[in-house]
């Protein structure tokens, strides 16, 4: 990983000392904080500005939902936090990712590895392609235990069985030697959760964990994640496009559009009265019972091409309330009280329902 900002390098001992402390941040700040992050992809066709100044924070034990459509940059932010972006083509020209007060982006790679998995772990959308088909699941769950913690094969397997029991895989002892294809979709997702939990992380990033699953299995997995989060006192970042799942589990929501956070609010406040026209449009485009037989409200047009993000507010070509100001000026983040923000020139009016 290249160094892009001139932060003071943290020595190994300092880092370990900080990580061991179970308070939130070294300076009393947040457990995890993303500050003004920018990510670009340099491709043959030009520069795609995928993340354009994202900031959010996460405290111990809470669930932050990052909501957005494909291409909004929600997964790229998570990959930047994990340090698993392919660089190049990705470039991080600016920004900080503070974990317990330490900027992960300035850490040398071997220090960064100590955070990945051990402090911040991630589960992916498609369990079948995230698991290795040629190794038994128990072997994969125990892999980090053997390599990082130096456990023997037998101990690692024993711990893998415990982890499989933790994620409620029935008959864990018999199934520890089974291969991924022998499990159903829901069970594979559980295996991946067990893998993520092997190092007992403080932050779990779940990237669309239930998108590929059926509703009844989705309910099981979301329950399990909620339970584990409470039991292990983890903080969770839930990345999703499903407004239903968010309403069920999240404490706070950050809505992303074209690489920016357009609205950030408490889950109840956001569903009650959205403060950004994009959020409003999303909520209105869900099929609702009282609109049966009528046209669904749509957001006109398409998400922007990230190589050519519109001037001013990136949402203005699709926004029903857009005015000249929106075309000319990039909206600043409006503070609306109670940790609530909206990046719209007319945030107050949208919130009050005046426009």
Partner 1 sequence: MAASDRTTSTPAAGTATKQRGETVLQVENVVKHFPITQGIVFKRQIGAVKAVDGVSFDLKRGETLGIVGESGCGKSTLAKLLMRLETPTSGKALLEGRDMFSLSGSALRRMRRNVQMVMQDPYTSLNPRMTVGDIIGEPFDIHPDAAPRGTRRQRVQELLELVGLNPEHINRYPHQFSGGQRQRIGIARALALKPEIIVCDEPVSALDVSIQAQVINLLEGLQDELGLSYIFIAHDLSVVRHIADRVAVMYLGKIVEIGTEEEIYERPTHPYTQALLSAVPVPDPKARAHREIIRLDGDVPSPANPPSGCRFRTRCWKAQDICATEEPKLELRAADPHPSACHFAEQKTHVVA
Contact residues: partner 1, CB under 8 A? 69-70, 170, 184-187, 214-220, 222-223, 241-248, 250, 267-268, 271, 281-283, 285-287, 289, 291-292, 295-299, 302-303
Tell me the closest approach of the beta carbon of residue 80 to partner 1, in angstroms: 22
For partner 1, which is the closer residue by CB, 112 or 168?
168
Tell me the closest approach of the beta carbon of residue 213 to partner 1, in angstroms: 9
Contacts with 111 (C-beta within 8 Å, 6 or more apart), sequence order: 10, 12, 15
For partner 1, which is the closer residue by CB, 26 or 247?
247
Report whether 276 contacts 292 (CB < 8 A): no
Tell me the closest approach of the beta carbon of residue 306 to partner 1, in angstroms: 13
Tell me the closest approach of the beta carbon of residue 86 to partner 1, in angstroms: 22
Tell me the closest approach of the beta carbon of residue 281 to partner 1, in angstroms: 6
Ranges of beta strands (E only) in the chain are 32-43, 46-58, 63-67, 90-99, 102-103, 120-123, 203-207, 235-240, 252-257, 260-266, 334-335, 341-342
Tell me the closest approach of the beta carbon of residue 31 to partner 1, in angstroms: 23
> 324 φ, ψ to 5°?
-55, -40
For partner 1, which is the closer residue by CB, 57 or 188?
188
Q: Which two tokens stand for residue 48?
A: 């795609």
For 59, 205, 240, 266, 277, the CA distances from 63, given in Å and listed in that order, are 9, 10, 12, 11, 24
For partner 1, which is the closer residue by CB, 90 or 283?
283
For partner 1, which is the closer residue by CB, 74 or 100?
74
For partner 1, which is the closer residue by CB, 143 or 266?
266
Helix (H), strand (E) counts: the chain? 14, 12
Q: Pairing state of beta strands 203-207 and 235-240? A: parallel
Residues β-bridged to residue 17:
none
């Amino acid at each position: 990983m290249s160094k892009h900002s001139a932060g003071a390098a943290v020595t190994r001992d300092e880092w370990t000392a900080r990580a061991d402390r179970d308070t939130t941040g070294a300076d009393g700040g947040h457990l995890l904080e993303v500050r003004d992050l920018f990510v670009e992809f340099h491709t043959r066709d030009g520069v795609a500005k995928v993340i354009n100044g994202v900031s959010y924070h996460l405290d111990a034990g809470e669930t932050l939902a990052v909501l957005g459509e494909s291409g909004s940059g929600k997964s790229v932010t998570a990959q930047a936090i994990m340090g698993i972006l392919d660089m190049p083509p990705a470039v991080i020209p600016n920004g900080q990712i503070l974990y317990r007060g330490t900027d992960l982006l300035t850490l040398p790679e071997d220090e960064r590895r100590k955070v990945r998995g051990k402090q911040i772990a991630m589960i992916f959308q498609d369990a079948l392609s995230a698991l290795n088909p040629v190794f038994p699941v128990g072997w994969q769950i125990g892999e980090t235990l053997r390599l990082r913690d130096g456990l023997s094969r037998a101990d690692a397997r024993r711990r893998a069985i415990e982890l499989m029991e933790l994620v409620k895989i029935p008959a864990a002892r018999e199934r520890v030697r089974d291969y991924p294809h022998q499990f159903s979709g829901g069970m594979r997702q559980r295996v991946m959760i067990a893998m993520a939990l092997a190092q007992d992380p403080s932050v779990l990033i779940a990237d669309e964990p239930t998108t590929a699953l059926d509703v009844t299995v989705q309910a099981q997995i979301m329950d399990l994640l909620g339970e584990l989060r409470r039991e292990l006192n983890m903080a969770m970042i839930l990345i999703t496009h499903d407004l239903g799942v968010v309403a069920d589990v999240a404490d706070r929501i950050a809505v992303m559009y074209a690489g920016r956070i357009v609205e950030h609010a408490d889950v109840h406040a956001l569903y009650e009265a959205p403060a950004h026209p994009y959020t409003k449009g999303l909520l209105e485009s869900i099929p609702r019972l009282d609109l049966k037989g009528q046209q669904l409200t749509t957001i006109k047009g398409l998400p922007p091409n990230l190589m050519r993000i519109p001037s001013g507010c990136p949402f203005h070509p699709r926004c029903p309330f857009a005015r000249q100001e929106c075309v000319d000026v990039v909206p600043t983040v409006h503070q609306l009280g109670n940790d609530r923000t909206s990046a719209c020139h007319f945030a107050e009016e949208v919130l009050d329902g005046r426009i």
